[in-house]
Chains A and B, each alone.
Chain A
């Protein structure tokens, strides 16, 4: 896994950072990579019958070879993190490393955008220099790097979290120098920014208000609260807090007769740690009825609690007690990491069911009645549900109609002519409720023989906050251990870390064949 060059490219192919470790790859590699990526076509793949001229939306695989140079890349937030190599090492190692570098850049800059990386080029290049030496990975843990990295994050114009970060950094310096009172400084900076950005759209203003409330210690969590640089986390003005998100992605496929073909949950426990002090330990207890490695329901009877097929844990997790009482102790690294990844197949009730009834009795038309039922407890509400129904390529068009009783603004159905599909959108979809929609497809000819094969499959995308499909739960989250004394931090507040535990179930691949 020797890396010859590393570079970060923006969405338009501009280099945002660049390192040449070995000098054994031509310096044109950046352009070569970008060109290959933009104009990737599958006829360049080396399979037997690949000289096809057909249309493809294929993007290049994460690793490919051009003129003796191997390019490996990871795409994160529209940026390409690319490594070139002329040796045949472990591709996974390089890809994992690139992913880690992306996260480091995000941890340090507070956000992963072209602008943030550009403005923080010094910080980013410092991070790269410490994380990699002569083509090999060195230290990639956020807190160990913090001892070595001395640049500070720079605000990014369009990212208000960045403003906050710099305000905090300024505040931190103020405390260190003992010249100002941190709070005043922060307030002053924010006031200044508010003054400047008075004409911004409302959304930005709201973000700014959130940012301000976080800074001034108002107990409220905003969407941008986790978008902060870990560098600022060391300062006295940052809140001592930890976010634990149990995120489950659902992969469900229904056959045309309503049977479940495949269903699997891919879950992970994501931690964003801004707890202060290297000695901090966290103890997390998961559901007691959790079984791992069971071979599915058939072997275990009707109810066996939460069943996971397999899981893995972050390096920092200590699992001595896990088999006894399902508790994990860990000394969490700073920043964002995935504490546990797990997989569970077939042990859950798919949250949505769809029924489609076809009507082919009228010539030149196909009618489809869609019924959608939310099969999850009514205390949860799904947000942003979108149902896509592709219609035959040869069809003239389609219209969707909602029942009259639907209050305006709560759902919307439209025909997307470019993609040839019906799009049915919901603002909110309460658990236990059901909705319907009737679709009329106009055909060019009287009938198309296999019309049903060309309609669908339906796909659903959604998010259900507070809901956890596998029923895995965090029973409690304890922060133990003392915060070590910081010589500059005489007025350290008593330890009362904020612990946020959030659940989210979302669709990854939710397909209903019709």
Chain B
């Protein structure tokens, strides 16, 4: 995307930005001496800050203006104040010493007559984030909590959390938390209570707040809270352990009105409360589901597309949970022109879920219309949906299978491809339909289908039902002879298997084909395809009859549930427990995308604000510790050897047996290609620290906890090691530390395939030990070889 023109534009913009920063710096300094209430000076300041703001927004680093801004901190105009304080709080962390200059002005303002100014000062003081200035922040917050007006009180409450995140101990030792706990139930202003709730929820955890007095106090006045605080309260109520049925009804009555609001977050929050409260009461639970249907449908069809998508995703979850309840609402899931693709996908899933004996005909008729959708993914998904309905329907199956097979008549490529996949599932699950399906498919040529998984499936059909598809060998043959053009290994493997199957079914037609397939596959670039080819060779060599039994065994016992479906069911239960969270939108539980430690770690990093390479180091230190913790029982040095051995030795033994068989089939044996090609490193690799860092985090191939022993006893410093490694083509990104705990970041580039290897190594010269982690950015064909090379290089440091 970034073209060179754009890049040069960006450079020019940055240069202009720098010039402007210099100019602004001069202008701001010239205003610093002007008195605080000089209205003209304040107007000038406002204008200057408007420009600073524009620069910051466009990505220019304005941190250097900090001293110039600080000297203007005395301005009395509220507009000026906001801009100045805003700037200071955003940059204070890096300018701790200078920030103290503003404390005076901020403190003065925290006693201002105007509550807006007081609030602003408290907010700014609490946001400074400088450890040395925390005492001022704490004082301001403590004072702010006693303010007569709501705005400063609410700001102060939030300030407590900001301070807590910088230094938890200070807040725990003060009386702030105790005060917040009191205010949570007693403060008269909802904005203040709302912020107390936010802060205590983060510090104490939501569970400890979900007590009867707090929950009741909040529910009783829930309508007076802002919408966002209502969402927080509902979340808290959902965590509250209800004692008995009466209490359940009381809470539900109190919250019933929250179902008729236009804010989807409140409605979904309420729904969660209702559903969790009635989990133990199946009858009431059903009634709840009935009750929440109408408001959810209203929300799904009103408001913004984005919020309605979230509601559809939740409806999808509920439909899945209680499909019977939604069976009569199936028309609500029909497509609309205005639906986004994401919503259409959800609707298809719901249509499949609610399909029952009564509505299946209507639903399938409707879905059939979607096959011509302009979005090919939706068209394909609609075909899949019909297939899924056919799979799940108990009776009247023929009708649906017929409809499915009619898709072949449409002659639209992606529809045909998806139909092949759907039909394969039906044949697998219900072998009784095989005849009908094979009959319909016997004229589908491989030219009709391009999508790899559909091609593979179609080839499977040709092999599996080769006796019923007269053209099968002739469909396969032209593709087989051009196997190199087939990019997906799955398809190549399937071609080979198909040739095997056909060989036993129709030997005269296919003997030559099988020979060609085997010859091509032992040379295949893909390990699995090669393995498969070698297996078949050996089978054929050993016992042809046994080979037939293995290859052409068909298990006609029906499949009741596909493995995928069972896995989905497990996920679904977890997701339901996380109702009204992102999990529902993603369709997977939080553990798959939320890493609580990572967030905490990153936060800690920002506060200390170190330079980039240090960040990498520390992140890695932490990561390494984790890695080490998990893998400490394994001997990693052994693992390298094992990997090598496997790669190096197996092919030779394999090619031996393969060669014998090939001669049987009168085919030339290809020289066995070496799987581990020789690794040559670029003698002068180039990588800048920023890309090192990004590649380090993005690299998918990781080998950690590797070890090597230094042979030399005379290693005394980092330079000795780096010099040696440079001679081997391994460049150094960073190095340092005392001889008994040296730390390095190396990198190297594979000269042929241009893979980049990244290394983090800890070397203890005295104990002659080293531990290192290697990552690879690229396809990693020489990853193992590099690990060995690096270990050797390190061990051989003179």
Contacts and interface: CB of A to CB of B under 8 A. Distances in A.
Interface string B204-239: 000000000000000000010011100110010000
Interface centre among A25, A39, A42, A134 (most CB of B within 10 A): A134
A23 B606 contact: yes
Interface centre among B309, B340, B377 (most CB of A within 10 A): B377
B675 interface: no
A57 B374 contact: yes
B50 A312 contact: no
B311 interface: yes
Interface string A146-169: 011011000000000000000000
Nearest to B562: A48
A18 B1 CA distance: 22
A55 interface: yes
B186 interface: no
B606 A150 contact: no
B20 interface: no
Interface residues of B, number: 112
Contact of A125 (B86, B587, B598): B86
Q: B interface, by DSSP: helix, strand, loop or mixed? A: helix
Given A125-B86, A310-B295, A315-B261, A92 B310 contact: yes
A138 B582 CA distance: 22
Interface in A63-112: 63-65, 67-68, 70, 73-75, 86-93, 95-99
A379 to B, nearest CB: 28
Contact of A15 (B57, B341, B452, B564): B57
B155 interface: yes
Interface string B562-597: 001000000000000010111111111010011100
Contact of A453 (B49, B82, B372, B453): B372
A444 interface: no
B227 A96 contact: yes
A57 B376 CA distance: 8
A311 B263 contact: no
Nearest to B79: A150
B82 A18 contact: no
A468 B86 CA distance: 49
A63 B313 CA distance: 11
A511 B370 CA distance: 12
A508 interface: yes
A264 B294 CA distance: 13
Given A90-B265, A90-B268, A52 B451 contact: yes
Nearest to B269: A90
Contacts of A264: 301
Given A293-B294, A511-B337, A313 B582 contact: no
B262 interface: yes
B590 A16 contact: no
Given A58-B375, A140-B228, A312-B295, A89 B581 contact: yes
A251 interface: yes
B599 A24 contact: yes
Contacts of A67: 697-698
A351 to B, nearest CB: 16
A88 B594 CA distance: 7
B599 A87 contact: yes
B162 A266 contact: no
A310 B297 contact: yes
Given A17-B57, A134-B162, A262-B334, A54 B451 contact: yes
Interface in B302-350: 302-307, 309-311, 331, 334-342
A272 interface: no
A89 B232 CA distance: 10
A137 B228 contact: yes
Contacts of A55: 376
A10 B301 CA distance: 27
B54 interface: yes
B331 to A, nearest CB: 5
A22 interface: yes
Interface residues of A, number: 101
B380 interface: yes
A52 B53 contact: no
A96 B593 contact: no
Contacts of B606: 23-24
A122 B264 contact: no
B58 interface: yes
Contacts of B450: 53
B409 interface: yes
B337 A312 contact: no
B59 interface: yes
B369 interface: yes
A485 to B, nearest CB: 21
A463 B481 CA distance: 60
A53 B455 CA distance: 13
Given A453-B410, A509-B338, A99 B304 contact: yes
A138 B341 contact: no
A313 B86 contact: no
B262 A56 contact: no
B409 to A, nearest CB: 6
B586 A63 contact: yes
Contacts of B1: 35, 38-39
B578 A88 contact: yes
Interface stretch (A193-201, A273-281, A336-344, A358-366): A336-344
A96 B263 contact: yes
Nearest to A18: B57
Contact of B377 (A18, A39, A42): A42
B260 A312 contact: yes
A56 to B, nearest CB: 4
Contacts of B331: 261-262
B231 A90 contact: yes
Given A88-B583, A342-B298, A23 B602 contact: yes
B422 to A, nearest CB: 10
Nearest to A510: B337
B743 interface: no
Contact of A58 (B265, B301, B342, B410): B342
Contacts of B374: 57, 390
Interface in B226-284: 226-228, 231-232, 235, 260-265, 267-269
B198 A150 contact: no
A93 B262 contact: no
B168 interface: no
A301 interface: no
Contact of A23 (B154, B310, B607): B607
B564 A48 contact: yes
A49 interface: yes
A68 B598 contact: yes
A312 B262 contact: yes
19 contacts: A18-B56, A49-B384, A67-B698, A87-B599, A92-B307, A95-B304, A125-B53, A134-B127, A138-B228, A140-B228, A148-B116, A148-B151, A261-B334, A268-B302, A312-B299, A314-B261, A315-B261, A338-B262, A338-B302
Given A24-B606, A341-B298, 6 more contacts: A24-B599, A88-B590, A121-B50, A150-B79, A312-B267, A343-B301
Interface of B: 1, 46, 49-50, 53-54, 56-59, 78-79, 82-83, 86, 116, 119, 123, 127, 151, 154-155, 158, 161-162, 191, 195, 198, 202, 223, 226-228, 231-232, 235, 260-265, 267-269, 294-295, 297-299, 301-307, 309-311, 331, 334-342, 366, 369, 372, 374-378, 380, 384, 409-410, 414, 421, 450-453, 564, 578, 580-588, 590, 593-595, 598-600, 602-603, 606-607, 697-698
Interface of A: 1-2, 14-18, 22-26, 35, 38-39, 42, 46, 48-49, 51-59, 61-65, 67-68, 70, 73-75, 86-93, 95-99, 118, 121-122, 125-126, 129, 133-134, 136-141, 147-148, 150-151, 251, 253, 261-262, 264, 266, 268, 293, 309-315, 338, 341-343, 390, 449-450, 453-454, 457, 459, 508-511, 513
Complex A-B, nearest 7 residue pairs according to Cβ-Cβ distance, in ascending order: A23-B606, A509-B336, A137-B228, A93-B265, A509-B337, A62-B306, A92-B265
